[in-house]
Structure 1
Amino acid sequence: MRIALMIAATLYASAAFSQQAAPQAPKPQVNVRTNAVMFSGGPSLGDSDKVRWDFYKADSMGGRSDENVGGAYDATFEEKIPPGRYVAVASLGSISREIAFEVKDGGVTDLAVDFEAAQLTIVPKRSPESKEAEPLARVTVTQDEFNDSVYGSKEIFVPAGELKLQGRIGPAEAEETITVKAGDTLTHDVIIPSGVVVANAVYKEGGRKVETDGIRFEALAETDTLDGTRKTITGTYGPGKIMQMPAGNFIMRARLGKVSVEKPFIVTAGQRTDLTVDLDAGVLAVSAPKAERIDIVETTKDLQGTQKEISGRYGTTHQETLHPGTYSVKVTYDKKTNREPKEVNATVTASERTEINVAD
């Protein structure tokens, strides 16, 4: 009996030790694995860092919350995240796909995405004959919610289907539609008919160049709008500045002081246009010690006996750019001085500076 009890105890202890020593199944070191292809049936994008994966906790409705729990730049990688419900966001350039998934304790979830995309190289040019891409050009590619923009020549990933391309160089614009297939690798020239204009001015033909940045150049549409005005395409202050322009016929308006002159010009796609505007103008400089105000007016009077005001300012000096001709300069003083206003004539000559002093 004693021997039987000893045998039974030994067998029990052996069974208990056997249960404790039995190896448990190892928990996985990762529980999420990813893969991505550019098109259905295409090869894996492998370790391409052009693909970005991000994992977000799912909200109560199963949608994506703002809480990110992991991710990497890699088409194929492995990650370990806590069990639960998630939304994966896979991105290839500006193409984005979402996948809802669940991670269970002890299991591995495999995620795969097909971007149904094409690889498009955009080459913006000013004209079909241009040999180089235009680095200043901006091209926007859109399709439904997809939107991507590039400057100059660049390779991007785009969704398969119809794409809208909008190109811009300054005020010059172009728009077209193309269709691509998933898996395509293609290059497309976007032609934005445009050139550059460099405007300068002289006070008279063959005379002095205008050097002040006070001059304003405005490129205007050739035809008037319904209200009789012309649309301003672009503009700049100062001579010798480069202005981006669409190809076509335009009017350049140059304004300096009280002088405004217009000159037609043509912009050819892919070319530079140098333009010089003849202002036919001179400068009148007036000094009047102790003056309160100086005004420049026309010498002629209208039927009411008034003279048209051209330019004026408070102070003892005044300078204005004017077309050639004779003008009347009026000087007024503070009423407290009991001085009578003075009026003298001054003649302006093109490309010359006329200085007068109205004595006290």
Structure 2
Amino acid sequence: MRISLIIVSTLLAGSALAQSASPPVPKPQINVKTDAVLVKGGPSLGDSDRVRWDFYKADSAGGQSDENVGGAYDATFEEKIPPGKYVAVASLGNITRQIPVEIKDGAVAEVTADFNAAQLTVVPKRSADSKEAEPQARVDVKQGATFSDSIYGSKQIFVPAGELALEGRIGPARAEGTVTVKAGETISHDLIIPSGVVYANAVYKEGGKAVETDNIRFETVSTEETLDGTRETLTGTYGVNKLMQMPAGSFIMRARLGKVMVETPFTVTAGQRVNVTVNLNAGVLAINAKDAQRIDILETTKDLQGTQKEVSGRYGTTHQETLHPGNYSVKVTYDDKTKREPKIVTATVTASERTELNITD
């Protein structure tokens, strides 16, 4: 009986050991491994999400179909994909490579993308002596019709080896350049976009009150006129003391408020701020006419036909306008039902002053 107990104990112990020792978990089988390099024979880009791999089934002609069977952000991508013919697409930034590959059972297909690329940092500056990159600058980097990328401020991007065209802009300012890079290198390149910033303000007269309304419109225009007598508008804004980006050079600041339009020349120096103050030489005429249907402001002089040119007008009992100094005719028209004749009075506008006209009878 004792011998039987020993045998049973031994069997139970063996069973417990068998249950506690789990069989090793088999490693997942793979049949495709990828790698990527900047230059042939160069170091691997490694475990990096800078590279994107996608595997598309090949179509009947061996090209890329729309059916994606797998992919990941990783230069060293490993996966098990159903056997067949594929087009592996590797992307590094805006650079892509397409690699035909056939995956078979029992074998591992190794696919390497040679991007033949460099790491380029474009540093856009307003002037050659600027110490900092301009964050408002946009730079387009192109190589023929096969590569294009855009950056704002200073940023490192991957670019194909060879000559690259650079197109920079800060507002209306433009600049072009080229840079040549070799595969595998890391370089920085300055792109000078000669430009500055302009802040526009206005006064009603020299030494007079400053304009504060946001109704004023500022526009920067070229100094040269086209064949039809107009000037190219570069940029514009409503309100005073607003930042405007401008290329370096000579321009005209055009200010409009009410019926007043004044132009003042100014110059922009690369990397500098310019403050431009426009003298409107203007005043404000405010009219209140009881029971009026419409109020019109006219020039006092008449043409050969005896008519007066209309300067400004609106329907209602009140009207306000910004005008150059001088005498004006104010015509008040009443509703036909009142059977009242239009009333015409003269008003004088003085620079940097507000003239209030009350017409009650």
Which residue of 2 is the match for residue 99 of structure 1? 99
Offset, 1:102: 1.5
Counting only pairs closer than 5 Å after superposition, residues 149-228 of structure 1 correspond to structure 2 as 149-228=150-229
- Which secondary structure state, in structure 2, belongs to the residue aligned with residue 222 of structure 1? strand
Letter in 1 for 2:121: T
Which residue of 2 is the match for residue 288 of structure 1? 289
Instruction: Give the Cα separation in 2 of the matches to 1:28 and 1:133.
Output: 49
Which residue of 2 is the match for residue 276 of structure 1? 277
Counting only pairs closer than 5 Å after superposition, residues 1-360 of structure 1 correspond to structure 2 as 29-143=29-143, 144-360=145-361
Offset, 1:308: 0.8
Asked whether the 8 Å contact 1:329–1:345 carries over to 2, the reply is yes
Offset, 1:28: 7.4
Offset, 1:66: 2.2
Instruction: Give the Cα separation in 2 of the matches to 1:41 and 1:107.
Output: 24
Asked whether the 8 Å contact 1:204–1:278 carries over to 2, the reply is yes
Instruction: Give the Cα separation in 2 of the matches to 1:27 and 1:211.
Output: 75
Letter in 2 for 1:299: T
Which residue of 1 is the match for residue 9 of structure 2? none
Offset, 1:127: 0.4
Offset, 1:59: 2.4
- Which secondary structure state, in structure 2, belongs to the residue aligned with residue 98 of structure 1? strand
Offset, 1:104: 1.4
Instruction: Give the Cα separation in 2 of the matches to 1:309 and 1:341.
Output: 15
Higher-strand-fraction structure: 2
Instruction: Give the Cα separation in 2 of the matches to 1:341 and 1:31.
Output: 95
Instruction: Give the Cα separation in 1 of the matches to 2:60 and 2:278.
Output: 69
Asked whether the 8 Å contact 1:28–1:106 carries over to 2, the reply is no
43-52 vs 275-284, which deviates more?
43-52
Asked whether the 8 Å contact 1:35–1:46 carries over to 2, the reply is yes
May I ask how many residue pairs the two structures share in their alignment? 335
Instruction: Give the Cα separation in 2 of the matches to 1:188 and 1:27.
Output: 48
Offset, 1:62: 2.1
Offset, 1:56: 1.4
Instruction: Give the Cα separation in 2 of the matches to 1:316 and 1:173.
Output: 50
- Give CA deviations for 1:172-196 in whole Å, capped at 9, x if unaligned: 1101122111122110001000000
- Which secondary structure state, in structure 2, belongs to the residue aligned with residue 300 of structure 1? strand
Asked whether the 8 Å contact 2:125–2:132 carries over to 1, the reply is yes
Asked whether the 8 Å contact 2:29–2:80 carries over to 1, the reply is yes
Offset, 1:336: 1.9
Letter in 1 for 2:257: L
Letter in 2 for 1:146: F
102-111 vs 306-315, which deviates more?
102-111
Q: CA RMSD in A?
A: 1.3
For structure 2, the 5+ residue unaligned runs are: 1-25
- Which secondary structure state, in structure 2, belongs to the residue aligned with residue 336 of structure 1? helix
Letter in 1 for 2:173: A
For structure 1, the 5+ residue unaligned runs are: 1-25
Instruction: Give the Cα separation in 1 of the matches to 2:100 and 2:228.
Output: 58
- Give CA deviations for 1:26-53 in whole Å, capped at 9, x if unaligned: 9970000001110122111111221111
- Give CA deviations for 1:127-172 in whole Å, capped at 9, x if unaligned: 0010000000000101122111110011111001111100010111
Amino-acid identity (%)? 76
Letter in 1 for 2:219: E
Which residue of 2 is the match for residue 12 of structure 1? none
Instruction: Give the Cα separation in 2 of the matches to 1:212 and 1:284.
Output: 15
Instruction: Give the Cα separation in 1 of the matches to 2:344 and 2:85.
Output: 89
Instruction: Give the Cα separation in 1 of the matches to 2:229 and 2:178.
Output: 35
Instruction: Give the Cα separation in 1 of the matches to 2:75 and 2:27.
Output: 25
- Which secondary structure state, in structure 2, belongs to the residue aligned with residue 49 of structure 1? coil
Asked whether the 8 Å contact 2:301–2:308 carries over to 1, the reply is yes
- Give CA deviations for 1:253-296 in whole Å, capped at 9, x if unaligned: 00000000000000000000001101000000011111111000
Instruction: Give the Cα separation in 1 of the matches to 2:40 and 2:82.
Output: 31
Letter in 1 for 2:284: V
Asked whether the 8 Å contact 2:53–2:77 carries over to 1, the reply is no
Instruction: Give the Cα separation in 1 of the matches to 2:92 and 2:120.
Output: 13
Asked whether the 8 Å contact 1:28–1:107 carries over to 2, the reply is no
Instruction: Give the Cα separation in 2 of the matches to 1:58 and 1:309.
Output: 74
TM-score, with length taken from structure 1: 0.91
